[in-house]
Amino acid sequence: MSAIGENERIDVLDYLRGFALLGIVLVNIGTLLAVNPPAAGTADAAYWKFLYLFIEGRFYTIFTFLFGVGFYLFINRANTKGKKGQVLFVRRMVVLFLFGFVHMQFHPGEALTLYAVAGLILLPFYKVTRRVNLLFGIVMLVVLSLFAAKIFMIIPFMLLGIAAGQYQVFERISHYLKATAVFTVIMLVLALGGLIFQYQSAPNFISSAANEAISGPLQPFIHIGITIGPVVSAFYVGCIILLIQLPFFRKLLTPLKYYGRMAFTNYLLQTVLIFVAGKALQLQSQISYFQTLYICLAIYVIQLSYSTLWLRYFKFGPLEWVWRALTYLELPPMRKRI
């Protein structure tokens, strides 16, 4: 999520944000609808394992890393235009925190408040050299990953995003395609090894209570999943970057770009749609993990279609426009000139 003007956008970042949102809703819906724990040997249990192998801890990492990239781009571009980038960024984080605080009342595990606080903590690192940010981010991430300190891992992910912004990785991505391909293959090998190890640690039964999912026999399975999460996420990012270099996939995934361009609006709207579905269909504590997939697929159709249609006529998503207006204390033009 970043306040980049329409003509300044880096498309690959929007594709990646959209991709991250696809995975985030699959995980968040379980908590928001108080999903029933799966029974052993069922399709529900298999889907639960799928979530914790390929989704949980894989997509928020991408979103957090991209927030760090947007962090750097926002301040750098504001400074380039002669504005006080760091002052604007502080105001931007305050607004984000307020949105997150309201969102927290409905979704206690929401990320915006954490992002706002982490953004303010990391503000001094904007002036730190890119090599230091890169090295410090990698070391911190490795250590925290080994201890499965999930909540604290947002700091190194953002720091690595800042470093990526400083290195202009995404502006020059076409020059790094061979390196990206090699990186993706290496991450694939490491991810496969980690996922096999994680799968082998999974118990043959699922906890009888949802709140026991991080303790007891499931703890090693969850712990390993958090530890290998950054590697799996890196593989996903490499795949998306390489795919959108091909005209066919770039066109096929275009709705994902618009989805990511409205990441702030869509992240909050996911919660709204989940609650609406829960209330209308009386799903609270009455739905299984596998059944949540159908709700998520419906949300995908709604949000991908809505985002594509909205950005055909408007420059910003609705909440992106509000966020930008409160950051700059002025009303930016909303409609496109057609």
Q: Does pLDDT of 327 surpass 50? A: yes
5 Cβ neighbours under 8 A, 6+ residues apart: 315
Q: What is the pLDDT of residues 102-116, one digit of tens each?
A: 999 999 989 999 999
String of DSSP letters for 112-129: HHHHHHHHHHTGGGGGS-
pLDDT confidence of residue 205: 54
Contacts of 161 (CB under 8 A, 6+ apart): 64, 65, 66, 67, 68, 69, 70, 71, 72
| pLDDT-derived band at 227, boundaries 50, 70, 90 | very high
Q: What is the mean pLDDT of residues 275-286?
A: 94
Tens of pLDDT, residue by residue over 89-146, are 999 999 999 999 999 999 998 999 999 999 999 999 999 999 999 999 999 999 999 9
- pTM equals 0.93
Give residue 79's pLDDT: 96
Angle at alpha carbon of residue 198, lines to 196 and 199, rounded to 5°: 65
Nearest to 271 by CA among 288, 301, 295: 295
Rounded CA separation 59/22 (Å) = 8
Measured from the Cβ of residue 82, the count of other Cβ atoms closer than 10 Å reads 7
Q: Name residue, tokens 């052993």.
A: 40
Contact 88, 36 (CB under 8 A): no
